[in-house]
Structures are given as structure tokens and as C-alpha cells.
Amino acid sequence: MVPEGKADFNCISYAKMIFHALKYPHCAVFGLLVGSSERVICIDAVPVLHEPASLNVVPEIALALVDSQCAYNSWNIVGVYFCNELLDDKNLDPSAVRIADKIALIFPQALIVQIVNTALRADSSEASIIVYNSQNKVWRPKKFQLENEEAVSSLVLSAIQNKLFREITDFENHLDNPSNDHWNCALNEKIEHHCSPLVN
């Protein structure tokens, strides 16, 4: 079981959140977190868009579509992630909170993950994400753990150096061209291949 007060992220879910923000460094990004209903563990991240969610109906469309796809696999949407457009903006995104509130009605352990864009540098020792959960209907920071921190750190550093993050596509890209896979299955395999030797 996951220790009380912690939320698990596997290598794939964490890396894809970071890759999404790295690909669009001058944009706000938003995505959905997919996981198990039995424990708060994020097994995948679905990038949704790279512009302010408040200006777009795409998040609502993506929420409905991803939810139906999750149901087929007995998964759940367990939260959202976002990265603000401005480097010094440390606030929770209101649109991310609104969608997370909806998710929390169905999945009470829902999470909001804020990507700290000032930490997205190869030489940064700053934590790249802040995790929130709803406590008495107020979103507060909480502790979290990664499935294998060494593997994830190595992967993100490598992705910055070799530009692997450029391969990620979001739901907005998918709407522009349906051949773009917003689940990023091919990229998932590359991430898993990188992490597996260090996990085992």
C-alpha cells in the first residue's frame, strides 16, 4: 500500500508531465492524470493542451473522451497537472482547480500537480512538481514519492540533452491532426525502456 499522506507517480506519468512543459516552455500546459481506483498511484499522464485552459473548451472534451477510454481499461482519471505560463507565477491555475474539483466528486483522493517551471533546467536541484490534494475542499500541498527517483531523474536529464521531450503530443495536437497520439504510446515504450533497467 502507498504510505499515508503520499501519492505515487510512476516513471511514465512523471516524465510525460515534465516533457509536456519542456516542449512548450513559453506556454501554459494542462493535462490529465490516469491511475488506479484502489490507490492513489498515477500510471500515466495525458497531455491535453498548451495554452490557458480558461480560453479553451478542449479540457472538457478531453475529460469526457479520456474518461471513456479509462473505463474500458478499468482505470480512473485521478487528477490534473498544469504549468503556468509565467516563470514567477506560483498560483494554482483556476481552470485546473475547477476540473480537479469535478474529478474529486467521483475520486475523493484526486490530485493537482503543479509543474515548477523554474526547476525545468538540467542543473536545477529544485523539486520539479508540487502535489496538492483536497482537504476540506481546500487544495493543500502534500508529500509524494516517485516510483524510482533515480531512474526518473536520469531520464529527465537525458531528455533535456537529447530533446526526447519534443516527441510528446497533446490532445490539442490530436485535434489538429488525428494521427497524433495523445496517449503517446510509442513514447511510453521509450520511457519504460529507459526506466526498466534501473527499476529492476
Residue 1 has a pLDDT of: 41
Question: Where do the structural domains in the chain lie, given as residue ranges?
Answer: 8-199
At 94-129, the pLDDT tens digits run 999 999 999 999 999 999 999 998 888 777 766 799
Model confidence at 73: pLDDT above 80: yes
Q: Which of 81-85, 187-191, 196-200 has the lowest mean pLDDT?
A: 196-200
Alpha-carbon distance of 132 to 138, in angstroms, equals 9
Q: Which CATH fold topology does 8-199 show?
A: Cytidine Deaminase; domain 2 (3.40.140)
3-class secondary structure, 134:
strand
Partnered with residue 149 across adjacent β-strands are none
Distance CA 29, CA 2 (A): 28
* pLDDT band with cut points at 50, 70 and 90 for residue 150: confident
pLDDT of residue 125: 65
What's the pLDDT tens digit per position in 168-178? 999 999 999 99
Q: Is residue 40 pLDDT above 70, yes or no?
A: no
The predicted structure's pLDDT at residue 51: 82
- Predicted pLDDT of residue 149: 83
Cell numbers representing residue 28 in the block: 501554459
Do residues 107 and 78 touch, judged by C-beta distance below 8 A?
Answer: yes
pTM for this structure? 0.91
Average pLDDT over residues 7-34: 94
pLDDT value of residue 135: 92
46, 17, 15: which is closest to 183 by C-alpha? 46
Whether 46 shows a pLDDT value over 80: the answer reads yes
Q: How far from the centroid of its chain's Cα atoms is residue 116's Cα?
A: 12
Q: How far apart are CA 181 and CA 169, in angstroms?
A: 7
- Residue 185 pLDDT > 70: yes
pLDDT at 189 over 80: yes
> Residue 33 in contact with residue 80, Cβ under 8 Å?
yes
Question: Model confidence at 3, in pLDDT bands (50, 70, 90)?
Answer: very low
pLDDT at residue 78, as a whole number: 95
Name the nearest CA neighbour of 67 among 94, 103, 20, 17.
103
Mean pLDDT for all residues in the chain: 88
